[in-house]
Amino acid sequence: MLDYALLSALAAVIRTGSFERASQQLNVTPSAISQRIKLLEERVGTVLVVRGQPCLATEVGQRLCQHVEQVALLESSMRQTLPGLQAETRPMTLRIAVNADSLATWFVQAMAQTKGFLFDLVLDDQDYSADWLRRGDVMAAVTSHGMPIQGCNCRPLGALRYIATASPGFIERWFPDGFGKESAIHAPSLIFNQKDRLQSMWLRQVFGAEIQPPLHWLPSSQAFVDAALAGLGWGMNPETLVREHLRTGQLVALNPQVHLEVPLFWQESRIVGQVMSDVTRAVLRTARAILKPVPSSPQA
């Protein structure tokens, strides 16, 4: 049987990063927090916290921490139907998987429209964020997967439009005779990480062939825009982030007729669907105001 006083101490240490801050959050001494963690580790039979600055969870520690948060959400859902239960005084933490470009363009606005929650965001590519939900590591996810994951609700959000952009100086240097297949092979491109397929998808859409240009690895949505502005390379940028730069001529679309639209969906666990109803409404409202309608057929 799990002792939730001990688990709460573990969750506080992991989320705050230190025994001192955890003790302040739970209104006990740091010694009491340390004793609770030690006792929990003895009962579980494994190390749960890697002591340091900050303190980090082991794999088992992270799983227990997530369990505590899921239980808190379930208890909150029960309070909505049993008002006689004592209300929770601390805001609940929602762990959500979201892709970096959604975070940079619209998701923060949705978060700001909710109250009573703290957010613990996991960043991953939209093609992989659903995996976090399948494993039970998050309560909800912004994902490109439109088929409901088992035990989850799935709602369309809209499509995030991407445009291949570069600075005028970059185009003058690498594409003096126009943007063609041969020049695209040699011109440096920007890539977010190993999961990022947008640049290769767009090149295949334009030329009908696989092209492997030289790559700059930049795991940041804003760095993508900054690198394009600086002439470091060309990349697929969300239209929302580069619209003004395109208008002023600081950036130029490599092929204005060809863009990518990535459909996005909101999937949340049905177990906590009622508790997250306000969050879900904010996410749907914000996304549908900013994103494009999901295309019914491939865009060219």
Residues 34 and 174 grouped into a single domain: no
Q: Tell me 249's DSSP state.
A: T
Residues 9 and 75 grouped into a single domain: yes
Q: What's the pTM value of the predicted model, to 2 decimals?
A: 0.79
Residues 173 and 257 grouped into a single domain: yes
pLDDT of residue 195: 93
pLDDT of residue 97: 96
Give the end of a domain, one of 28, 49, 81: 81
Give the end of a domain, one of 29, 52, 81: 81
Residues 271 and 249 grouped into a single domain: no
249: left (phi over 0), alpha (psi -120 to 50) or beta: left
Residues 61 and 197 grouped into a single domain: no
Residue 48 sits in which domain range? 4-81
How many domains would you assign to the chain?
3
Residue-wise over 266-295: b if at least 16 C-beta within 10 A, else e?
A: bbbbebbeebbeebbebbbebbeebbbeee
Structure tokens that stand for 148 in this block: 């409901």
Give the end of a domain, one of 81, 103, 126: 81
Residues of the chain with pLDDT under 70: 1, 74-90, 295-300
pLDDT of residue 273: 78
In a domain, 86, yes or no: no
Residues 252 and 165 grouped into a single domain: yes
Q: What is the CATH number of the domain that holds 44?
A: 1.10.10.10
Q: What is the CATH number of the domain that holds 272?
A: 3.40.190.10
pLDDT of residue 78: 61
pLDDT of residue 243: 96
